[in-house]
Amino acid sequence: MPTFKKREYLKRVEKTKYKMEREGIEVLVVVDPANMNYLTGYDAWSFYTPQVVIVGIDLDEPIWIGRKMDVACANFTVWLSPNNIIGYPENLVNHQIKHPMSYITRTMIKRGLENKVIGVEKEAYYFDIRSYEELKRNLPDARFKDSRMLVNWIRSVKSSREIEIMKEAGKISEKAMQVAMDSTVVGARECDVAAAILNSQISGTEEFGGAYPSIFPLFGCGEKAAAPHLSWTDSLIKSDTAIWFELTGCRHRYHTPLSRTLYLGTKPSKKLADTAELVGEGLETVLDFIKPGITCEEMELAWRAVIKKAGLSKESRMAYTVGLNYPPVWAENTASGRPGDRTVLEKNMTFHVLLAMWMDGWGYELSETVRVTDRGCESFATFPRKLFIRE
Amino acid sequence: MPTFKKREYLKRVEKTKYKMEREGIEVLVVVDPANMNYLTGYDAWSFYTPQVVIVGIDLDEPIWIGRKMDVACANFTVWLSPNNIIGYPENLVNHQIKHPMSYITRTMIKRGLENKVIGVEKEAYYFDIRSYEELKRNLPDARFKDSRMLVNWIRSVKSSREIEIMKEAGKISEKAMQVAMDSTVVGARECDVAAAILNSQISGTEEFGGAYPSIFPLFGCGEKAAAPHLSWTDSLIKSDTAIWFELTGCRHRYHTPLSRTLYLGTKPSKKLADTAELVGEGLETVLDFIKPGITCEEMELAWRAVIKKAGLSKESRMAYTVGLNYPPVWAENTASGRPGDRTVLEKNMTFHVLLAMWMDGWGYELSETVRVTDRGCESFATFPRKLFIRE
């Protein structure tokens, strides 16, 4: 049941060990659910309790350790051999005194992993302070070191099979965006539009069903378009209103976010129309510019040059790597399109180029998820790149 | 735009300060998004970057500090005065060297909060190790202390307005479960059933629109019913199959999860039918037993006594507190129905009583979300408590 062939996972583990060696890390404790999935295939909504994948330079295979009831989930999704799938007792979950890390570290000691240089993910979402303190307390002879997103960085360059899956997700993004455009009508409740979008994201296409997206559809309606991360309400959608949608298809946990803006009415304001024009030009400029060898900050500069002409600026990053993930993000939290980021673009890196302008009282969003190709880039979705205007 | 009246938030802040004083905490750094929402109303999908609410014994009001672009989200959702809504620069987000905590701690120093006993949420999901280390490094004169879920525990007893909102969520749970039952037919793709459920969760009822649930619908179909946390696939649903659904309505971020099991066919196996009968008896026994004054472990014992008769046992907890939350959980991560938990039930505590039996190759789920009343308890949803059987 894992999504990929075993040899693809083995290659990922090899890359991880190679990087660990270079960083002087002997044992890596992986907690980020996307990294756990990337290395083992593990896929379940269980990241709210402590669970780890342990990669050891001297271990043949990673070890999955999670809650006892989730061993069944691991059995359905990982490629590991049964003796590397280990469950800790249920009474350790959300306990005020006992902690799963006591069990996890006992297992590490049994496997001879107690006095090593241990890499930990200091910026992973589901690695809490208590877990880290228990880990350190139970392994007093180990040295701990921030892995500095080691596996996240490996994830940033995709395999051909990963690209195929993202193309499937792209088809779902297209469909969901079309549903967003069609279901947004004057008088509809915002929640009903959101429901239609989610229905489409999960139902996917006839060929490819959708997985749950790492972020629920974001949309900014009317004056709320000024705020980037609000959710829908029960309010009715009014006429003469601009609404932006930021949504994604998700397939086997791979995301291809896509953003567009719709104006309900006949005549958008001049500033909205002008901004749409400018941002559209910015997007084409950036997509023409992207190719292997350029840096993230050069990509940002290409965009900035366009909006500067109109006296505009955008403080927030204009792109970030995207792909495999779990809530709360589809981003990989590695490279970003902004000044100072000198990450060099490589073939099969995948970026969400998000040219969102959140202004005072209004907003405009246009985005594409693209793959860096041999000589340029290509988008995962085909959807007109314009301000949509409709009554 | 906050969900509650200002005086309700003020009461929550008062309760928090009272508990802080008892615990010897002068300043509380709140990172858990549900706790942030509980104290200030803040509601946005922005918890993937560092953000905090700071409660100080000597502060008139809490302070919200988040990413600059999310100040707009705060302006739409919190009750705080403008000088207590502070944004940090965009270039600190996902930066390899700089960190938002440097900005957050500078603000704390400006407000005289640098040499205090500071409570931190060591088990919050979105408080990562790097943030904690930066916090400590920048405030060398402070003493740090685990807040031990201080705000979560306050959340466990609901106000009458919170109960009203949960009743609205309960109506959505009912509707979504009916959709689950109706859309699960032989030959349907699992993803299409999930899509229909989500559509219903978000669309809500005519009166009450739904918010995004903290957990996507869980369902165990066929042999996957043995695993508690898997997601749907593209597979077609077969006949002679049992499927359990665990789903929730969500209203203003309050959840009322509900679980039922459907058998597609004419004759479920004897073990499934017997288990359904037993678990049904267990649920009625527990619901009859719940009232203020009993402990969580006594509640579990009432359930265990029923299944013990049939030679069955359940290692995992059979209930937990539930309410306001964000992904990845609807649970409050405080009291649990299991041996050793001596939390005393109070009026208006709300529990998800989840009598799930994940067996070898199959599973059965039955659950209710209940409110402890003056003398007993009442469920938020009305839905027949039985194994559903349909061709």
Q: What pLDDT does A1 receive?
A: 80
Site from A30, A70, A76, A94 to mutate, B interface, most B CB atoms within 10 angstroms:
A94
pLDDT tens for each residue of B264-297: 999 999 999 999 999 999 999 999 999 999 999 9
CB contact under 8 A, B123 and A128: yes
Right CATH number for A6-155 from 3.40.920.10, 3.80.10.10, 3.40.350.10, 3.40.50.300? 3.40.350.10
- ipTM of this model? 0.96
Minimum distance, in Å, between the CA of residue B290 and any CA atom of chain A: 22
Strands B63-67 and B85-88: parallel
> Which of A48, A122, A316 faces B130 most closely, judged by CB atoms?
A122
Q: By mean pLDDT, which of B158-162, B230-234, B312-316, B369-373 is the weakest?
A: B312-316
DSSP 3-state of B259: strand
Determine which helix (DSSP H) or strand (DSSP E) holds A196, and give its type and residue range.
Answer: helix A190-203
Residue B192 scores a pLDDT above 90: yes
Whole-angstrom distance, CA of residue B160 vs CA of residue B348:
8
| Burial of B111 from C-beta contacts in 10 A (0-12 / 13-18 / 19+) | middle
Minimum distance, in Å, between the CA of residue A128 and any CA atom of chain B: 5
Residue of A nearest to B363 (CA): A72
Site from B127, B212, B296 to mutate, A interface, most A CB atoms within 10 angstroms:
B212
| DSSP assignments along B349-390, one per residue | BEEEEEEEEE-SS-EEEEEEEEEE-SSSEEES-----SEEEE
Within 8 A by CB and 6+ apart from B237, the residues are B184, B185, B186, B187, B188, B189, B190, B193, B221, B243, B264
pLDDT tens for each residue of B109-121: 999 999 999 999 9
Q: Name the β-bridge partners of A367.
A: A259, A354
Whole-angstrom distance, CA of residue B330 vs CA of residue B160:
19
Residues of A in contact with B201 (CB under 8 A): 195
| Burial of B236 from C-beta contacts in 10 A (0-12 / 13-18 / 19+) | exposed
Site from A71, A92, A231, A237 to mutate, B interface, most B CB atoms within 10 angstroms:
A231
Whole-angstrom distance, CA of residue B255 vs CA of residue B246:
12
> Which of A129, A189, A327 faces B122 most closely, judged by CB atoms?
A129
Q: What pLDDT does A14 receive?
A: 98
% of chain B exceeding 90 in pLDDT: 96
Per the document, the length of chain B is 391
CB contact under 8 A, B216 and A212: yes
How sure is the predictor about B108, in pLDDT bands with cuts at 50, 70 and 90? Answer: very high
Whole-angstrom distance, CA of residue A37 vs CA of residue B244:
25
Identity of the amino acid at B183: S
Written as six digits, the tokens of A137 are 């307390």
> Which of A73, A132, A189 faces B229 most closely, judged by CB atoms?
A73
Q: Name the β-bridge partners of B56.
A: B27
CATH 3.40.350.10, chain B: domain bounds:
6-155
- State the angle between helix axes of B270-289 and B296-308 in degrees (0 to 180), rounded to the nearest 10: 150
Whole-angstrom distance, CA of residue B259 vs CA of residue B369:
9
Q: What pLDDT does B82 receive?
A: 98
Nearest to A325 by CA among A292, A347, A352: A352
Give the pLDDT of chain A (391 residues) as one tens digit per residue.
889 999 999 999 999 999 999 999 999 999 999 999 999 999 999 999 999 999 999 999 999 999 999 999 999 999 999 999 999 999 999 888 999 999 999 999 999 999 999 999 999 999 999 999 999 999 999 999 999 999 999 999 999 999 999 999 999 999 999 999 999 999 999 999 999 999 999 999 999 999 999 999 998 999 999 999 999 999 999 999 999 999 999 999 999 999 999 999 999 999 999 999 999 999 999 999 999 999 999 999 999 999 999 999 999 999 999 999 999 999 999 999 999 999 999 999 999 999 999 998 999 999 999 999 999 999 999 999 999 999 8
% of chain B exceeding 70 in pLDDT: 100
Better-scored residue on pLDDT, B95 or B62: B62
pLDDT tens for each residue of B6-27: 999 999 999 999 999 999 999 9
B114 with B104: CB under 8 angstroms?
Answer: no
CA separation (Å) from A348 to A17, A93, A209?
21, 40, 24
B238 with B212: CB under 8 angstroms?
Answer: no
> Which of B124, B190, B328 faces A327 most closely, judged by CB atoms?
B328
How sure is the predictor about B1, in pLDDT bands with cuts at 50, 70 and 90? Answer: confident
Whole-angstrom distance, CA of residue B323 vs CA of residue B203:
20
Torsion sign across C-alpha atoms A330, B328, B190, B207: negative
User: How much is the mean pLDDT over chain B?
Assistant: 97
Written as six digits, the tokens of B324 are 């306001």
Q: What pLDDT does A138 receive?
A: 97
CB contact under 8 A, B316 and A233: no
Written as six digits, the tokens of B289 are 């037993």
Computed on alpha carbons and rounded to an integer, the radius of gyration of chain B in Å comes to: 22
> Which of A47, A211, A333 faces B231 most closely, judged by CB atoms?
A211
The class level of CATH for A160-390 reads alpha beta
Minimum distance, in Å, between the CA of residue A373 and any CA atom of chain B: 25
> Which of B126, B215, B227 faces A125 most closely, judged by CB atoms?
B126
Within 8 A by CB and 6+ apart from B132, the residues are A129, B120
CB contact under 8 A, B129 and A129: yes
Site from A68, A96, A359 to mutate, B interface, most B CB atoms within 10 angstroms:
A96
Minimum distance, in Å, between the CA of residue B10 and any CA atom of chain A: 23
